[in-house]
Structure 1
């Protein structure tokens, strides 16, 4: 069995897998969670987040300290992490949400490093299509993330949440977008660990997919049917496009009745699914 490399999505960090890893290890699967570029130990927080008094104008206009992080940089970092963890042997990569485009780039460029590409309610963009394009399709119209974003990403270089606000309604909507089926106490703790800026460059990057690259890698999509961040219709579109492009290597699909964050709401069940994939 290959080693598992777990990659979080935007605004989160490797910490979000802490409830899942014990289940995986208990089942005999070595698992390592890593931080994506611009997140976790690689995050850089904007000044407005801690400045007093609170400055709403700065929230909307300050250029992000991670504005220079793009898909190339994110893929380079994750590739180095995979090589270190796997010792050159292929690993199974489980990518959540906006880590999907990074996994896709790596599986295309170095398919020999990826034994199994697992997309957990993640962006799985088609060839030469940026992940950001899927936030504007009809299937995404009722998603809850876009209305929460602050500022103009073209100006700030980031998809930004206002984590300094005391607006109770805003924080409630943030909870609904990510943690709708998570215990409120745990969700509050997770919210306190979020970073405000997701690097827009990761969402704007594209990868040309080939039969010998990404198209040759075994892949599974774990759909979350209660997801209010990446809506089920968007998830279905990813799978349909992938299977149309590479019909000889169809996507395996597993369904969880979960929100966007099953690693917190049902870590045991999620671990069981991951282990079952082999």
Structure 2
């Protein structure tokens, strides 16, 4: 006789029209970064879809000269597949995914860091297909056109990115991309990178994260006009998750982005939540992130 296993735990009720969370990564990253959050969302009964933007994930470029032993001179001259990728390419890819997922229920679009520019563009393009926009320390541009312009503002002054210029390989103007040597063995550079990105993690956690990054990111994506428009993007419910210990996109700049958006659409302000983490430290606390996202579906 086949044994029957029972559990005393009752299944969680299934909500009507359970949404799909579409997760958009930031600079030099991929869908892999979202794995901890996706696990927690699944435990709460939610569907999620993590995007690999064009030229990211398994489309990423890892030349032999980037491997160990590295040949930085050869790598500096290596053309980049991302040089031709634009912000519109990113937006078009996510619009296609949102359109297909919307056939199965509401869509909540989540963008971290530079991923915020893509979800803003999607909101401008198909506002009727997006139930909510969620920015996790994300670039939500309104007054200035793009992150590069905002980086010249006083609210960005608390960032720790300046020393990281030494990580750059090649001429961005010639390559069409920013190229960072995330496989450096320089302890000073590694310490500076950790302080800017994941100061709240262990060295082991930081190195694990570093090894899922890809070295190139398109300059065209970072310099395009990424402003949200009041009559499209501004009509969508939106949430901002502030990261108070962020030294890549300082909390003062996050608060400015929130304030500018609220001024643009005073009748549709941000729903604001706060976590005391670094720029990518929220990935080390995925249950808390998933709890916030879960609360948006009630």
* TM-score, shorter chain, exceeding 0.5: yes
How much is the aligned-residue C-alpha RMSD, in angstroms? 2.0
In the alignment, is residue 125 of structure 1 matched against residue 144 of structure 2? Answer: no
Q: Give the alignment partner of residue 74 of structure 1, picking from 73, 79, 90.
A: 90
Give me the whole-angstrom Cα distance separating, in 2, the residues matched to 1:146 and 1:88.
45
Structure 2 unaligned spans of 5+? 1-17
Please show how residues 22-41 of structure 1 align to structure 2 within 5 Å: 22-41=39-58
- The more displaced of 107-116 and 208-217 is 208-217
- Deviation per CA, 1:115-155: give whole Å up to 9, x if none: 10000001011166122211221221231234314144333
Residues 28 and 213, structure 2, Cα contact 8 Å, conserved in 1: yes
In the alignment, is residue 17 of structure 1 matched against residue 34 of structure 2? Answer: yes
Cα distance, 1:89 vs structure 2 = 4.4
Q: Give the alignment partner of residue 111 of structure 2, picking from 70, 95, 109.
A: 95
Aligned residue for 1:72, secondary structure, equals helix
Give me the whole-angstrom Cα distance separating, in 1, the residues matched to 2:220 and 2:61.
15
Question: Could you state the TM-score of these two structures normalised by the residue count of structure 2?
Answer: 0.86
What is aligned with 2:244?
225
Residues 46 and 64, structure 1, Cα contact 8 Å, conserved in 2: no
What is aligned with 2:19?
2
Please show how residues 1-278 of structure 1 align to structure 2 within 5 Å: 1-46=18-63, 48-50=65-67, 52=69, 54-55=71-72, 57-58=73-74, 62-87=78-103, 89-126=105-142, 129-149=145-165, 150=168, 151-207=170-226, 209-278=228-297
**4+ aligned runs moved over 4 Å, structure 1:** 57-63
Residues 144 and 150, structure 2, Cα contact 8 Å, conserved in 1: no
Structure 1 unaligned spans of 5+? none
Aligned residue for 2:133, secondary structure, equals strand
Aligned residue for 1:193, secondary structure, equals coil
Give me the whole-angstrom Cα distance separating, in 1, the residues matched to 2:58 and 2:266.
39
Give me the whole-angstrom Cα distance separating, in 2, the residues matched to 1:173 and 1:26.
35
Residues 6 and 93, structure 1, Cα contact 8 Å, conserved in 2: yes
Cα distance, 1:85 vs structure 2 = 2.9
Of the two, which has the highest radius of gyration?
A: 2
Cα distance, 1:6 vs structure 2 = 1.1
- The more displaced of 142-151 and 123-132 is 142-151
Cα distance, 1:243 vs structure 2 = 1.0
